[in-house]
């Protein structure tokens, strides 16, 4: 995995990308070094079907691409090879009125494999297929490991063993795991592909939303899936053990297609056991040494699992002052810090923490969100200001030791959802830490709260976890319902405020 990745971007290919595209393609196919696309080929592709040509960039460098045509279904059904399907490499087979999105190339640079970037390209192709109301995605995939087994088995037997996971093929195994199914084997598909013995596997992904009476499709995502992690406090030997446990949960919630993973406040506290011989103030400052490495690793997780991660919170030293902060690690590889504004008396007395001075909404690929840490949600002014900035979802990582503390967080979060006409997701820690001073007991019930109107649950609770049990909570929230509420709700708290009599405003920005 590449160290210090700052940004991952998926976008349409531009002709200015060609030099980098060529270099990455050559390095991706060393066995076919002369088979890269020429600049005139790319120019032709972009002229006939620009939206079908995709690239992945890491820190501004092209490291992967997916190129496509739209072709007639009858052409796909015929026996064909690569030269024929591409119109003798002229792309004359492209027909914008046809039914099939045909993939003519996809690759990821060897140095950037293992980050699931290929999956992003496939997911983007699927979205394009749905948006264009095409019937299916079809392409012929190479089987590069077949060369090692060609003397012992037929391509059909090889494919079956890959399908049942008795054998592994770097291309076919990946494609099967992305919901493509085998149509047939093609002989003599790509001239010069010695690794595959010039065999290829014709694969298909069906668009279940295909409608042969085309209609406009809403391209904007409105159903957002939240993955809340109710974290069990347990002894951890080192920070790698923390990463292992955190990655497990990130893998779980991303496996269910979650757009966000939310961790609790101070969930890294088990690492403080090594410093229990120190005073509480000294111990938490030692814990703060882990915060930057944790942020960097969670950025890698966000890229690898294609999910936005809200890292709960952790102690952070800056200018000699100790803050309670967290990081929004976006799936594009970037990250932003948020800080707890209101510090509890306990945090001041035992740890000497200070409150931050900046808060804002965050732009994500799922719209504007807000993040407030625990005690902050008990101050309604903060979330009202975030709602004024367009916040749709408020995330609240929290840590409470007793049911009294949890009750405050829960009911204040429910109030914030109602008064700001937004969703509020809260996630906390459970269990005990007998060897960590000032962090010995926890109580939590992670939940997602909604406004209170006919389109939402009557009690304003979309979903809630089992109290004091380690688990995840996967919840879908519909942003369209919020739009409807803002305009046509039984009451409209955001619109009906008497701004002629009172206002709330930030004193700094």
Q: What is the distance between the terminal CA atoms of the chain, rounded to a whole angstrom?
A: 37
Cα gap 251→470, rounded to integer Å = 16
Check residue 38 and report its DSSP letter.
Answer: P
Q: In a 3-state reduction of DSSP, which class is residue 396?
A: strand
Select which of 340, 412, 422, 470 is catalytic.
340
Helix (H, G, I), strand (E, B) or coil at 211: coil
Query: Directed axis angle between helix 403-419 and helix 380-388, to 10°?
Result: 30
**Given 374, 412, 422, 429, the catalytic residue:** 374
- The enclosing H or E element of 157 equals helix 155-163
Whether the Cβ atoms of residue 237 and residue 245 lie closer than 8 Å to each other = no
Which phi-psi region, left, alpha or beta, contains residue 190 (left: φ > 0; alpha: ψ -120 to 50)?
A: beta
Query: Which residue is catalytic, options 99, 195, 198, 265?
Result: 265
Residue 340 parent element (H or E): none
DSSP3 helix / strand / coil % (the chain, rounded to 5): 35, 25, 40
Spatial separation of the C-alpha atoms in residues 384 and 407, rounded to whole Å? 21
Alpha helices (H) in 197-356, listed in sequence order: 239-255, 280-287, 291-304, 345-351
Question: How far apart are alpha carbons 353 and 324 in whole angstroms?
Answer: 7
To the query of whether residue 265 is one of the catalytic residues in this protein, the response is yes
With a CB cutoff of 8 Å and minimum separation 6, the contacts of 258 are 225, 226, 227, 307, 474
Q: Is 484 a catalytic residue?
A: no
The stretches of 256-320 forming alpha helices (DSSP H) are 280-287, 291-304
Reported as half-sphere exposure (CB side, CA atoms, 13 A), residue 425 has a value of 27
Active-site annotation holds for 412: no
SS3 labels along 89-153: CCCCCCCCCCCEEEEEEEEECHHHCCCCHHHHHHHHHHHHHHHCCCCEEEEEEECHHHHHCCCCC
- Per DSSP, the three-state class of 454 is coil
Residues recognised as catalytic: 265, 340, 374
């Amino acid at each position: 995995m590449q160290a210090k990745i700052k940004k991952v971007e998926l976008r349409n290919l531009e002709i200015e990308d060609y030099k980098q595209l060529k270099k990455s393609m050559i390095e991706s196919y060393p066995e076919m070094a002369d088979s890269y696309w020429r600049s005139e080929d790319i120019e032709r592709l972009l002229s006939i079907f620009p939206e079908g040509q995709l690239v992945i960039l890491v820190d501004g460098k092209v490291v992967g691409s997916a190129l496509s045509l739209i072709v007639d279904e009858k052409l796909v059904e015929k026996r064909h090879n690569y030269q024929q399907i591409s119109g003798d490499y002229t792309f004359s087979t492209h027909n914008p009125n046809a039914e099939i999105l045909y993939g003519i190339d996809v690759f990821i640079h060897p140095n950037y494999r293992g980050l699931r970037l290929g999956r992003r390209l496939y997911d983007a192709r699927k979205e394009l297929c749905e948006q264009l109301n095409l019937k299916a995605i079809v392409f012929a995939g190479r089987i590069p490991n077949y060369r090692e087994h060609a003397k012992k088995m037929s391509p059909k037997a090889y494919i079956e063993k890959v399908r049942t996971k008795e054998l592994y093929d770097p291309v076919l195994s990946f494609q099967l795991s992305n919901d493509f199914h085998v149509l047939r084997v093609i002989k003599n598909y790509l001239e010069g592909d010695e690794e595959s013995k010039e065999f290829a596997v014709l694969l298909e992904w069906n668009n279940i939303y295909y409608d042969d009476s085309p209609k406009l499709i809403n391209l904007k995502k409105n159903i957002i899936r939240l993955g809340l992690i109710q974290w069990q406090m347990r002894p951890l030997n080192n920070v790698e053990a923390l990463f292992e446990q955190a990655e497990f949960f990130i893998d779980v919630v991303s496996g269910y297609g979650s757009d966000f993973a939310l961790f609790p406040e101070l969930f890294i506290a088990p690492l403080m056991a090594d410093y229990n011989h120190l005073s509480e103030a000294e111990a938490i400052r030692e814990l703060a040494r882990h915060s930057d490495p944790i942020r960097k690793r969670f950025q890698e997780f966000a890229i690898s699992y294609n999910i936005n991660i809200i890292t709960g919170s952790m102690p952070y030293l800056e200018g000699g002052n100790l803050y309670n902060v967290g990081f929004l690690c976006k799936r594009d590889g970037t990250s932003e810090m948020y800080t707890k504004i209101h510090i509890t008396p306990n945090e001041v007395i035992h740890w000497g923490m200070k409150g931050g001075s900046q808060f804002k909404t965050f732009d994500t690929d799922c719209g504007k969100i807000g993040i407030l840490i625990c005690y902050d949600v008990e101050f309604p002014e903060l979330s009202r200001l975030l709602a004024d900035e367009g916040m749709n979802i408020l995330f609240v990582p929290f840590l409470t030791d007793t049911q009294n503390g949890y009750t405050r967080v829960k009911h204040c979060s429910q109030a914030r959802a109602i008064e700001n006409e937004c969703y509020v997701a809260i996630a906390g820690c459970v269990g005990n830490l007998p060897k960590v001073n000032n962090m010995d007991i926890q109580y939590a019930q992670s939940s997602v709260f909604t406004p209170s109107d006919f389109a939402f649950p009557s009690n304003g609770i979309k979903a809630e976890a089992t109290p004091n049990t380690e688990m995840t909570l996967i919840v879908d929230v519909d942003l369209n319902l919020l739009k409807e509420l803002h305009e046509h709700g039984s009451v409209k708290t955001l619109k009906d405020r008497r701004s002629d009599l009172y206002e709330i405003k930030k004193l700094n920005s």
